Structure 1
Amino acid sequence: MNTQTIAAPADLTEAQRKALAALADRPGSKAAEIALAAGIGGSTAGKALTALEAHNLAYREHGEKVGGRRTADRWYYRPVEADPQDAATDEAETAPDAAAPAPQAAPEAEAPQAAKPATSTRLARGGLRQMVYEHLEAHPGDEVTAPRLAKALGRSAGAVANALVKLTEQGQADLVGESPRRYRLAGQA
């Protein structure tokens, strides 16, 4: 077992907790290797890792195409401390704080015109969701995953995943694939 403390949400299942512990000890492992190390089934490990990715506790490096077949994804543990504010940025209300930089008062700040990475500034409520929607709108036929979109926007994968789920619930995006979860602008069949 890893000697570092692994912070995890209370709502994780036992299988997810086992997978997380195994992943923290074995970065870069395949799902089958995590299953073996955690003492859980292969299918259960795959589902647990996907759930951990949705919680922003893990991320995957997608396998490559070799001879018409794709190699297995490699999984990595994402420590909670790595990005403490961004995971809640999308839904958090921005209350004035003496230690925090003053937020921009202009209403245009909620709908940025350029999709520049802004990792050092806190977005207004709904700002990340707007950035995600604008990206989908600019690339209507593309299918995106939360980690890749997060990298393009310079934000955390968990926060982007939350924004994609909200946009799907609001009918502005469509979930077009489950493993990995892929999204695109609504109505782009």
Structure 2
Amino acid sequence: MTNTTAQAPAGLKTSEQKALAALADHSGATAAEIAAHAGIGGSTAGKALTALESHNLAYRERGEKEGGRKTADRWYHRPVEATPEHISDEPEAAEASTEPAPEAPAEAAEPEAATEAPAQPGTPAAKAAPAQRLARGSLRQMVYEYLEAHPADEIGPSGLAKILGRSAGAVANALATLTDHGQAELTGESPRRYRLAGQA
């Protein structure tokens, strides 16, 4: 029998030393089996094995789903002399890679103009994919193309935003910029209304 507790790093709890000794003699056992061999509780064994894994003294082989149920993880002893605890934590990193990758966070809240979705010129089809990013100036181009396609219309930021599937604030900024460039004109102040420039 290997005297693993003598090789263990200082500072291990008694339960962790017991789990390590049991694991050395029963490598490939489940946490429940280790608990029985070590004479400690099931939850205590689980915590002890996780601690040993963090010290690079043990590693697990994760269970697989069988018939809608997941089999128990299998734990294996990692001899101290083979992989000193101070070398690196690469084995842990490799083990962690078997976990499902965390879901990417939802699109972060950013200024609407910076996260607009590309749209076909002159159509409200942008409403179909609002979460995609637009290149700089693309929203302004969409607004201009709508005005160009409807030269007789006088429309406000809120109404146009609903048509394009964008925020009213971003559309209002685009309309203001087009007005400054002489491509659109303000036809009403309260509420604000715009149309294509040169239609008077």
Q: How does the TM-score come out when normalised to structure 2? A: 0.45
Q: In terms of Rg, which structure is larger?
A: 2
